[in-house]
Structure 1
Amino acid sequence: MTAPASDRGAAALFLGIDGGGTGCRARLQAADGRVLGQGLAGPAATRLGIDTTWAAIETAWTGALAEAGLTPADAGQIRAAAGVAGYSRAGMPEALAARAHPFAALTFESDGIIACLGAHNGGDGGIVIVGTGSCGFVRIGGVASKVGGYGFPVSDEGSGASLGLRAIQLALRAHDGRVPSSALLEEVLRRFGHDPLQVVAWMDGATATDYAALAPLVVRHAEEGDAQARAIMQDAATAIEGICRALLERGAPRLSLIGGLGSVMEAWLAPDLRRRIHAPLGDALDGAALLAGRPPRTDL
């Protein structure tokens, strides 16, 4: 719940920004973690270009300040940090750092780093993001490293996009009579009029997001006992297990699964790994606020 502006107090404020490929969020917090205002904007991934990314970030933070009853003139009391998808692209750190802003400070990092900070309340730990794509991050003693996440289709194993791709591959094989059909594969083929040429035409322009749109079908049919869907889910879980074990081998003392498919995939993991998974203590916006200097919460 957003706290009223009158309850802000005079202490320093902390603005967290999460710039992703589907949208940009901003959250203004007090030092104790109370939410004072929030803002939303369109995509802010650097692949869209620096101007688009910056415009989304500005729109999101302007909304958060407005909801808190603040104006840009008040921004000098705010320390801000932003996690941006694609931050490591060549030239982007420098381009973002060069932009003028009204805050006492503005720090940039990758969206994965702020998610990791938030999940562990600023402490050491690792995360596996399982959404449209997949990626692992671990942060120990202030040093972060990454596992996977090089982009679909060459990477992002176990992700929603990979589930969709595998479902289409098996559906085409079932159409040819090369593998047994199933309710899942029939439903996938039905979406394309049982015509492989429609699949090929769709493939020419399909994005990772388009493939990931088929993931809910795989999950639903797996839960209903469909053998092909269950095999796809198990293969995906094996891939996610590989990322988890790599993070643990790097010394992660705590591990969380996050993203739209995180909780779904957790149920498919090996029992020893499920025992190592912890619920995240906060989200990416909490992580950005921590990066900006907000103290870790003591009530968790």
Structure 2
Amino acid sequence: MATASYILGIDGGGTNCRGRLRDTNGQILGEAMGGPANTRLGVAAAHEQVLMVCIETLKAASLISSDCKPDDDEVNVALGQTRLGVGLAGLHLESQLDDFLNWDHSFASLEACNDAHIACLGAHDGEVEGKGILILGTGSCGYGFKDGSPVNIGGWGFKISDMSSGAVTGYLAVRHALAVLDQIYPSTGLSEEILQHFSHDAETLVLWSDKARPTDYGQFTKLVVHHANEGDEAALDLMRTCGRQTEAMLGAMKTRGIEAVSLVGGFAEHVEPYLRSEMKKMLVPRFHDARDGAILLAGGVIGQPSMLKHEDATGE
């Protein structure tokens, strides 16, 4: 691995791309954030976004001037002193990983993998054998390592997978609200607040749903959590379903040899109270976030472990 003065970690997903720069002693020098860096947008676009965030991170660390251009000599010099680790949504496909690594870059070295991989590395401080993560954010998936090989659970997307995720939970809440409007189910505080968003008009809701994305449905998850905490039966039913589905995913991970799991993602802390105590025994605290996992991937070291909370887990 090339000698370098700095290690830069990139965590890129469908919502944003975040970078962190550390020195060889593990001290944070700078951080930055940019737009989506999902390879589904194209490998060339992912390269461009990753490079932009890297440059902004170097600027934040005052290693290059704030008004420099990507092709300036000072940028190339700084990149040449930096090892880069990248985790991107979509890089679980070997063809896309090969395309991404086939990059005419100026970094001292480049390591890349999918975003779940770096999240797992960060969560367990690089010691991943028999350990994993369960991401409960806008989407959901389980990821870990057994006998040196990755273990994947779910993560096939909003339409056919992503159980116990914010997007699917929000979708189910909206669907329930529409059924309330048709007087199929009795009204509750949850359905009333969702229907207010659509002026209690079925056509408005349906037209919205034609263009709604997973993140659009996910915005209603906060209402589900709030009303469940208030004792709303419809909301409680949704959260209990999330608990059962999360337990099923944890069980699948245990069956495949993953004994210790860190919950990751903004929805995770809300689902955890609905897990039975025997399932909670699998859960362990998370050391670092995905950006630090990318730094570990690149051969860097991390300073004092932070034992992060669930909501700091990903770039979403």
Could you state the TM-score of these two structures normalised by the residue count of structure 1? 0.91
Of the three residues 143, 149, 156, the one matched with 1:143 is 149
Q: Is the 8 A contact 2:180 2:187 kept in 1?
A: yes
Give the letter for the 2:171 counterpart: L
Residue 227 of structure 1: aligned partner? 233
Of the three residues 126, 130, 134, the one matched with 1:128 is 134
Of the three residues 175, 183, 197, the one matched with 2:181 is 175
Mean Cα deviation higher: 98-107 or 173-182: 173-182
Residue 72 of structure 2: aligned partner? none
For residues 274 and 220 of structure 1, the distance between their equivalents in structure 2, rounded to whole angstroms, comes to 23
Q: Is the 8 A contact 1:23 1:40 kept in 2?
A: yes
Q: CA deviation at 1:11?
A: 6.6
Of the three residues 83, 86, 89, the one matched with 1:85 is 89
Of the three residues 276, 286, 291, the one matched with 1:285 is 291
Q: Deviation digits for residues 157-187 of structure 1, max 9, x if unmatched?
A: 1101111111112112222222222110111
For residues 33 and 251 of structure 1, the distance between their equivalents in structure 2, rounded to whole angstroms, comes to 31
Residue 35 of structure 1: aligned partner? 28
Residue 12 of structure 2: aligned partner? 19
Distance of aligned partners of 1:140 and 1:297 in 2 relative to their CA distance in 1, 3 Å threshold:
farther
For residues 30 and 273 of structure 1, the distance between their equivalents in structure 2, rounded to whole angstroms, comes to 39
| Aligned-pair identity (%) | 39
For residues 83 and 90 of structure 1, the distance between their equivalents in structure 2, rounded to whole angstroms, comes to 13
Residue 62 of structure 1: aligned partner? 55
Could you state the TM-score of these two structures normalised by the residue count of structure 2? 0.87
For residues 43 and 165 of structure 1, the distance between their equivalents in structure 2, rounded to whole angstroms, comes to 23
Q: CA deviation at 1:132?
A: 0.6
Q: Is the 8 A contact 1:29 1:37 kept in 2?
A: yes
Q: Deviation digits for residues 15-56 of structure 1, max 9, x if unmatched?
A: 111111111111111233211122221110112222322221
Q: CA deviation at 1:103?
A: 1.4
Give the letter for the 1:45 counterpart: N
Q: Secondary structure at the match of 2:274?
A: coil
For residues 175 and 59 of structure 2, the distance between their equivalents in structure 1, rounded to whole angstroms, comes to 49
Q: CA deviation at 1:86?
A: 1.2
Residue 53 of structure 1: aligned partner? 46
Distance of aligned partners of 1:236 and 1:197 in 2 relative to their CA distance in 1, 3 Å threshold:
same
Residue 203 of structure 1: aligned partner? 209
Q: CA deviation at 1:235?
A: 0.5
For residues 159 and 197 of structure 2, the distance between their equivalents in structure 1, rounded to whole angstroms, comes to 22
Mean Cα deviation higher: 139-148 or 181-190: 139-148
Residue 239 of structure 1: aligned partner? 245
